[in-house]
């Protein structure tokens, strides 16, 4: 990529943190939560860097009383803001309130909602019913239908099943957050973990081939490209998908505490907004880690190996 291409085009901002399982969870989360002023300062600095899509996500983020003001400020500065929420959180009133921001401002989180049933195609759970009702509300209010989903442990059949559901509901896209946990990974350590992430990403690429034209079906932190093997169109010639990590190149993740990272899973990153005066542009342009990533073209597993381990400890090649 050319140097001028290294500007953020997509930022996932986890604005709220789930601490319900901790003894002082809600109180701690409230104490650490970004204030309205902090949100506006961050958005202002992002807009001075480029005009990316900003995906605002996090548990109960739709319940923030200042969410409308934050989104309105971002749109006024030329940013496109997407808000993720659970089906039951996206009410008719919310749809009316945010309608001025376009038909794509909401993304429905479908984690645990679409499960293959035994007596019917889909398990008739309360989560599934809430999702079906939410789709009706979105269409009635004139919105497009976009889904968000976290991939922690996914088999090819489950991916295909989710894709089939999106196709049947005429969804405009499914956007994946890649999140590997110790319980979801096969035995074998970091090397196996990285290869497993590549396998999942390649499974998504294979399913993409059957997606309707215009339906997005992909992780947000990688870029797919077509690779031609062989010469001409004869025997031995084939075209396949390959992918590369765009963390620190065109993609960034902002944690609930203000850390700017290449992605959610790689906690080594570009610094912390609360420690540098909410200057996103300074972190993006001056991060030594991001500069290292920009001279490399790696898959998801290759980036993990380069950084040393899944959580960003710097070892080996990068330390040298």
Higher pLDDT, 203 or 320: 203
Find the CATH number of the domain harbouring 68: 3.20.20
The percentage of residues in the chain with a pLDDT greater than 90, rounded to a whole number, is 54
Count up the domains in the chain and report the number.
1
> In the block, which residue shows the tokens 């994946």?
176
Following DSSP, what letter does each residue of 220-262 receive, concatenated?
Answer: SSEEEEEEEESSTTSTT-EEEEEEEE-BTTTEEEE-TT-EEES
Q: Is the pLDDT of residue 270 over 90?
A: no
Residue 198: pLDDT above 90?
no
pLDDT at 164 over 90: yes
pLDDT at 20 over 70: no
Q: Are 70 and 58 a contacting pair, CB within 8 Å?
A: no
Measured between alpha carbons, how far is 266 from 305 in angstroms, rounded to an integer? Answer: 11
Four-CA torsion 225, 13, 63, 91, nearest 10 degrees: -20
CB environment 273-288: b (16+ within 10 A), e (fewer)? beebebbbbbbbeebe
Q: Is the pLDDT of residue 254 over 50?
A: yes
Using the predicted structure, report yes or no on whether residue 152 has a pLDDT greater than 80. Answer: no
Arithmetic mean of pLDDT, 95-108: 97
The answer to whether the beta carbons of residues 261 and 248 sit under 8 Å apart is no
Residue whose pair of structure tokens reads 């204030």 in the numeric block? 35
Lowest mean pLDDT among 36-45, 266-275, 311-320: 311-320
DSSP-derived 3-state class of residue 106? strand
Domain range enclosing 87: 3-319
In terms of pLDDT, which residue wins out, 121 or 206?
A: 121
pLDDT recorded at residue 91:
97
299, containing H or E segment: none
């Amino acid at each position: 990529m050319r140097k001028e291409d290294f500007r953020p085009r997509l930022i996932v901002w986890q604005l709220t943190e789930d601490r319900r399982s901790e003894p002082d969870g809600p109180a701690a989360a409230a104490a650490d939560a970004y204030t309205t002023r902090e949100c506006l300062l961050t958005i202002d600095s992002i807009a001075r860097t480029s005009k990316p899509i900003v995906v605002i996500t996090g548990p109960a983020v739709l319940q923030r009383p200042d969410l409308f003001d934050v989104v309105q400020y971002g749109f006024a500065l030329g940013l496109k803001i997407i808000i993720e929420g659970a089906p039951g959180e996206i009410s008719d009133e919310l749809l009316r309130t945010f309608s001025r921001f376009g038909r794509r401002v909401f993304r429905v989180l479908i984690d645990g909602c679409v499960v293959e049933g035994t007596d019917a195609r889909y398990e008739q759970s309360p989560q599934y019913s809430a999702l079906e009702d939410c789709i009706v509300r979105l269409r009635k209010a004139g919105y497009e239908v976009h889904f968000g989903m976290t991939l922690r442990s996914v088999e090819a059949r489950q991916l295909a099943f989710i894709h089939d559901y999106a196709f049947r509901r005429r969804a405009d896209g499914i956007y994946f957050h890649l999140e590997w946990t110790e319980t979801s990974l096969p035995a074998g350590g970091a090397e196996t973990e990285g290869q497993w992430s590549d396998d999942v990403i390649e499974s998504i690429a294979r399913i993409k081939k059957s997606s309707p034209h215009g339906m997005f079906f992909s992780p947000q932190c990688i870029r797919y490209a077509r690779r031609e093997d062989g010469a001409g169109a004869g025997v031995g010639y084939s075209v396949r998908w390959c992918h590369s990590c765009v963390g620190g190149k065109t993609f960034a993740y902002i944690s609930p505490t203000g850390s700017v990272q290449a992605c959610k899973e790689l906690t080594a990153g570009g610094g912390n907004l609360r420690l540098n005066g909410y200057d996103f542009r300074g972190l993006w342009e001056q991060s030594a880690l991001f500069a290292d990533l920009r001279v490399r073209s790696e898959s998801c597993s290759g980036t993990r190996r380069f950084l040393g381990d899944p959580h960003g400890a710097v070892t080996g090649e990068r330390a040298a």
